[in-house]
Structure 1
Amino acid sequence: MVLPSTFDALIQEAQQSDLYTKFVEQLNKDFLLANIDLDFDLEILPTSLKVMLHEVVYKLIQQKFAEYLNVLYIIDVSEDKIKQLDGSDMFKLSEDVTFLICQREWQKVWFRKMYS
């Protein structure tokens, strides 16, 4: 599996595969497991999803770092990929982490579809 390299490509692939709803459900499920009060509507527009998720990740990094680490652990975002990110700009860092979260969630949904 080749992971999409941009958020727009990821969303396009999810929509073409009729898996966008499953993708949103997976995000909701994993954030709930991490005890983060976040529940996206299944019909949320991709642009709104991106903005809202980015905002949540940014706030977690700034205000609730332990919960942020817990989310990354539950979603199973690669520690190596996180370490490669530039942490000098918190806004950019949170944007990059948001994309890594989306990539990993998409990977879970895609594998479930392909191997079930």
Structure 2
Amino acid sequence: MSKHPNIVSVEQLMEQVGGSDLYPQLILQLQKDLNRAGIDYEINKNSTFKELFLDIEQLLLEKINNAFNDFLNLLYAVDVSEREIRNCDSEESVAVGRYATYLILKREWQKIYYRNIL
């Protein structure tokens, strides 16, 4: 991920989101988009950002390996392009899942952040 200069690191994203009053809205937005993508998954509303990241990473890994259309539907619902996913440096499903988790949470954070500052 670090070879792309315009991308904040996962740690930076954790700092921005985890300490924000907008974090509960991020969870609600992500839950809404999971539902829109037809993915039956309930997010723990009390999870820290790190726990959320790990939970979504596991969910995506399962979808990549067993229900790829669900994975693509989620990317569409969140508004993450397949082109962005192709920027991943690896073809291993674990690395793709981690990178996709990062992109999804970053995009959800952008939606919440811009909605609240404008």
The verdict on a shared fold, with TM-score over 0.5 as the criterion, is: yes
Residue 113 of structure 1 corresponds to 116
SS of the residue aligned with 2:89? coil
Instruction: Kindly state the Cα deviation for residue 25 of structure 1 after the two structures are TM-superposed.
Output: 0.9
User: Which residue, out of 101, 105, 109, partners 2:104?
Assistant: 101
**Within 5 Å, which residues of 2 pair with 1:23-42?**
23-42=26-45
From 2, 15, 19, the equivalent of 1:12 is 15
Deviation >6 Å, runs of 4+: none
C-alpha contact 1:58 1:94 (8 A) present in aligned 2: yes
Number of aligned positions between the proteins: 113
CA 1:110–1:97 in 2, change beyond 3 Å: closer, same or farther? same
Cα deviation, 1:42-94, whole Å, max 9, x if unaligned, reads: 22122221111000000110000111111101100033211222342111111
Structure-1-length-normalised TM-score: 0.87
C-alpha distance 71-21 of structure 1, shift in aligned 2 (>3 A): same
Q: What is the deviation of 1:8?
A: 2.8
Contact 2:30 2:108 in 1 (8 A): yes
Matched to 1:111, the amino acid is Y
Give the whole-Å Cα distance in 2 for the aligned partners of 1:13 and 1:72: 22
State the 1:100 CA deviation: 0.4
- In the other structure, the counterpart of 2:81 is 78
Determine the C-alpha separation between the residues in 2 that align with 1:79 and 1:26: 20
- For structure 2, the residue ranges without an aligned partner over 5 or more in a row are 1-5
Distance between the aligned counterparts of 1:6 and 1:22, measured in 2?
21
- Is 1:60–2:63 an aligned residue pair? yes
User: How much is the aligned-residue C-alpha RMSD, in angstroms?
Assistant: 1.7
Give ranges in structure 1 of 5+ residues lacking alignment.
none
- Partner secondary structure for residue 99 of structure 1: helix
Q: State the TM-score, normalizing by the size of structure 2.
A: 0.86
